[in-house]
Amino acid sequence: MKKLPNLIITSGDPAGIGLDLCVMLAFKKFLANITIIGNKNAILSRAKLLKKDIKISTKLGSHLGNGELKIINLDYKNPVVAGQLDKNNSLQQLKGLKTSIELCLSKKFDALITLPIHKKILSSKKNKFSGHTEYIADACSFKGNEVMLLSSKKLNVALATTHISLKDVPGNVSQKSLCNTISTLHSELKKKFKITCPKITVTGLNPHSGEDGEFGDEEIRTIRPAIKKMQKLGISLNGPIPADTAFTPKIMRNTDCYLTMYHDQGLAPFKALTFGKGVNVTLGLPIIRTSVDHGTGLDIAGSNNIDPSSFFESIKLAISLAKNQY
């Protein structure tokens, strides 16, 4: 009998749609052992709000989709109200995230799936992280180069910079950082996604990729030299390609993964083409981590009007990546 992957899921900010998605998971079968780290009473309360009857278990076992959830209980400070942020509850969920990372590092779980936490909690004075990706890298004591990848069956897009202001992007794109990102991306596409020789298309930073320095010279000074350096190491790279034509059908057919210079440059086309089917993956870490391609959804929490597609896709990809490492 083949080993079933052991997955752990953080239930996300209690005020958001993470709890709704956990309830929906109870009725979806997966060939994996799945455990949620969250507050069982909050999940039961959200199930009642959604008029769903679920059962809670503490026993590890295959996820049958029979209305049962395995939960590691996490205490919250206050009652949970759908759509209403509570800092104390959010901070408790952040502790749950830390615990889940430790469980993956100790090999008790094969992969981590995270549901959204509100960015204000991650970027508070105490935490100072711009997103899940940066928090998880720090919690793993990771000193390498983590890479944020958005993945779907149709399209893979990686980011050279993540959650920073647009005005700060040029100063954070250097030859060294690009070479490190390309190296991690190439290695992880081969190792985790089993792509033998990944073809990576790199976008420019400026309109028309700078038009030979007319609209900015980052392509000349930084991006093109980094590409040439990594090509000499045998990595298949194309670019820098102007971002407004990079996602045309012809180029997409000859690309396994894009490397874009900043958040919206990559995520705008990705979500336009794949929304609901995309998965956020953190590459380069000592653990497998996937997540949904959307936020906390405070305005629709508890509404029975939530699409679980991205969540279910993130579980499917976590299972696939976990199996690839056996």
Tell me the pLDDT of the chain (326 aa) as tens digits.
368 999 999 999 999 999 999 999 999 999 999 999 999 999 999 999 999 999 998 777 789 899 999 999 999 889 999 999 888 888 888 889 999 999 999 999 999 999 998 866 655 556 566 677 778 888 888 777 889 999 999 999 999 999 889 999 999 999 999 999 999 999 999 999 999 999 999 999 999 998 999 999 999 999 999 999 999 999 999 999 999 999 999 999 999 999 999 999 999 999 999 988 899 999 999 999 999 988 899 999 999 899 999 999 999 999 999 998 76
Q: What is the CA radius of gyration of the chain?
A: 20
In the chain, where the domains are located = 1-142+285-326, 146-277
- Write phi, then psi, for 149 (nearest 5 degrees): -125, 130
Q: Where does 180-320 show beta strands of DSSP type E? A: 199-203, 236-241, 257-260, 279-283, 289-292
Q: What is the DSSP string of 130-162?
A: SSHHHHHHHHTT--S--EEEEE-SS-EEEESS-
Q: What is the CATH number of domain 146-277?
A: 3.40.718.10
Cα-based angle 141, 147, 149 (whole degrees, multiple of 5): 135
Task: Identify whether the C-beta of residue 117 lies closer than 8 Å to the C-beta of residue 129.
Answer: no
| CA atoms of 140 and 98, how far apart (whole Å) | 9
197 φ/ψ angles, rounded to the nearest 5 degrees: -135, 85
Superfamily of domain 1-142+285-326: Isopropylmalate Dehydrogenase (3.40.718.10)
Same fold across 1-142+285-326 and 146-277 = yes
Task: Note the pLDDT of residue 1.
Answer: 39
pLDDT score, position 122? 55
Phi–psi pair at 28, nearest 5 degrees: -120, 125
A 10 A CB-CB count for 187 gives 15
Query: Is residue 42 a contact partner of residue 90, using CB atoms and an 8 Å limit?
Result: no
How high is the pLDDT of residue 275?
84
